[in-house]
Amino acid sequence: MQATHENIQCIEEDEIDLRELWETIKRGKKIIASFVIVITTLTLVYALKLPNVYTSEAVLIPSKTGSAPSLGGLGGLAALAGVSIGGGGGSMTPDTAFNALINNYEFMKYFVTKNKIVEHYEDPSLDKNYVFALGYRGLYDLFQTTSNKANKKALEDKIFDTVKLLKNNLAISADKKTGLIKVAYSDSDRFYPPTLINAFLRDASEYLVENNLANINERLQYFETELNKTESVELRQSLSAMISKIVQEKVMMKSKKYYQCDVFAEPAVSYIKDKTKPKRALILVVAFITSLILGIFAVFFIEFLRSNKEEEVSK
């Protein structure tokens, strides 16, 4: 009976506490409303300031590479000579090769410099094609004029920042089911992504093809040297067949527009309503909920300080 009585007392105390919490929230409703209005308004200004971001993508069909031909004793012989005789790209798929180049700072620095991408993003008229919510760009212009004044950096720093920007906005992925490779770029200027994607695929392919051709030529030279030295008819036939396959590989490497890929779909300019970012409605909802939580926390904190002060006065 005593335990039951204690349980009832605890329940009653909990109910009283909940009522007190609700009364505290009601007393601080003006503070909570202030938090919600201020934070949501600032977030709305921020969301309206952001230009739309558009994404364009190219779709590539990777070439089917067969397994490497059997070399018998030639493989060991070439290995002893320090010559790689595997397939030109080995097991590296085009999407893996392209992603490796994106993370190669020296190549990206060369790419940025060659295509004058730093100059593109520093062009004062860069934002002429930007699209904003409600068609209003006044907030963007208001903040942009003050930020451009402090844009004085060394060229190397500008290149580094541009490379970082490209790494964040350039995405290369392969569909496991279809094998198709997608090369996508996002930018506020919806006319620029197709240009950058084509430039990247061109320069990356040139770089990869040159490296592979150098490897192929090294293998050709090695097998031709061995062919001239050997007198065995059987070995000469094997070497001739190997040289023929390497030459075919070289021809195939040069025949593709992009590295080991055929073009399935060229990148195109996105439709003006087909933006990918920002999700303004989601931003506002998150800001509203966050401001509500912060407001309630502020009310409880103020009530806590007030209670402590009253206790100190009463003592």
The average confidence (pLDDT) of the chain is 82
DSSP codes, 108-123: HHHHHHHTTHHHHHH-
Tell me: pLDDT of 115 over 50.
Answer: yes
d(CA 169, CA 102): 11
Q: How many angstroms separate the CA atoms of 201 and 193, rounded?
A: 12
Q: What is the largest CA-CA distance in the chain?
A: 111
Q: State whether residue 54 is helix, strand or coil.
A: strand
| Cα separation, 126 vs 87, whole angstroms | 44
* Residue 241, token pair as written in the block: 């067949």
Residue 151: the pLDDT is 60
The residue ranges of every structural domain in the chain are 17-49+289-314, 54-265
pLDDT per residue over 243-299, tens digit each?
Answer: 778 777 777 777 788 988 889 999 999 999 999 999 999 999 999 999 999 999 998
CA neighbor of 179 nearest in space, from 249, 264, 254: 264
**Percent of the chain at pLDDT above 70?**
81
pTM for this prediction: 0.74
> Distance between CA 68 and CA 147 in Å, rounded?
56
Distance in angstroms (rounded) separating the CA atoms of residues 53 and 189: 7
Average pLDDT over residues 226-255: 76
**Among all chains, which residue has been given the structure tokens 């023929």?**
244
Q: How far apart are CA 195 and CA 197, in angstroms?
A: 6
